[in-house]
Amino acid sequence: MRKLVYYVAVTLDGFIAGPDGADPSGPNGFWPIPDDYLRHLVAEYPETLPGPARQAFGITGEGSRFDTVLEGRHSYEIGLAAGVTDAYPHLRHLVFSRTLAESPDPAVEVVSDDPVATVRELKRHDGRDIWVVGGGALAGALYPEIDQLIVKLAPTTIGAGIPLFGRGAAFEPRVWRLTGHTVLGSGAIFLTYDRAPAEAGPA
Ligand SMILES: NC(=O)c1ccc[n+]([C@@H]2O[C@H](COP(=O)([O-])OP(=O)(O)OC[C@H]3O[C@@H](n4cnc5c(N)ncnc54)[C@H](OP(=O)(O)O)[C@@H]3O)[C@@H](O)[C@H]2O)c1
């Protein structure tokens, strides 16, 4: 069955963005994007690069991991403010919002239904894996459905910001199994964790 994968950049202290909710890797952002990091993204995760970046790098390949991306409204609006109505035209793009009245782009599906129910329905159909791009609030809502974490750990601390699963996440410990890692010379580490199967209870 296709997996729900939270593929996300995280600081060493567990944040995906600063407290202001702006784009941390944008022109005024604090996120380091060294050359080896960019090369790794292009080689391994080409479909996760936004359309304008794919154009700039001449990337036309579909990639092999994801065919669908899920995004929270706050994250989507960062691209929208920059004039990008669909940052991922090469993927099926669902934006979760209970306030957006209509989609700004015919290719972007605005979904007001429960994200968990939506993901369960997506998983019933064949396809490549489903990527939760973020942000924290959407990932927190989808926490029970996430099958794999791909963490792009940045050699950065920021002290405060939006946590990996948002500010409203519940306390729900879960064990993950390390299934892959790549250490880059610049200090970033890509860590892949699969959700460990639930331990069998007493017979
Ligand atoms: N480091 C990374 O890789 C990465 C990736 C993506 C985003 N980010 C960052 O994440 C930040 C935004 O994250 P965020 O946590 O503020 O917002 P978010 O998760 O992007 O969006 C939250 C919005 O999603 C909608 N939503 C629909 N159903 C929901 C549900 N059941 N639970 C929660 N939200 C639901 C709501 O929109 P309505 O209010 O319209 O109903 C909610 O306000 C930005 O700073 C962005 O740069 C970082």
Query: From the CA of 27, how far away is ligand 1's center (Å)?
Result: 20
Q: What is the mean pLDDT of residues 46-51?
A: 94
74 C-beta closer than 6 A to ligand 1: yes
Max Cα-Cα span within the chain: 57
What atom in ligand 1 is closest to the CA of residue 98?
A: 41
Angle subtended at Cα 54 by Cα 189 and Cα 19, rounded to the nearest 5 degrees: 55
Whole-structure pTM value: 0.96
* Domain extents in the chain: 30-168
Q: What is the mean pLDDT of residues 128-151?
A: 98
* Structure confidence at residue 66 as a pLDDT band (50, 70, 90): very high
* Structure confidence at residue 200 as a pLDDT band (50, 70, 90): very low
Looking at the predicted structure, is the pLDDT value of residue 2 above 80? yes
Peptide bond into 14 cis (omega under 30): no
Looking at the predicted structure, is the pLDDT value of residue 26 above 50? yes
Residue among 153, 143, 142 nearest 180 (CA): 153
Residue-level pLDDT at 197: 82
Report the share of the chain in percent with pLDDT over 70. Answer: 98
78 C-beta closer than 6 A to ligand 1: yes
Q: What is the mean pLDDT of residues 182-191?
A: 98
Indicate the class that CATH gives domain 30-168.
alpha beta
Q: What is the mean pLDDT of residues 69-87?
A: 97
4 C-beta closer than 6 A to ligand 1: no
- Hey, which of 97, 133, 167 would you mutate to test ligand 1's pocket, going by the most ligand atoms within 8 Å of its Cβ? 97
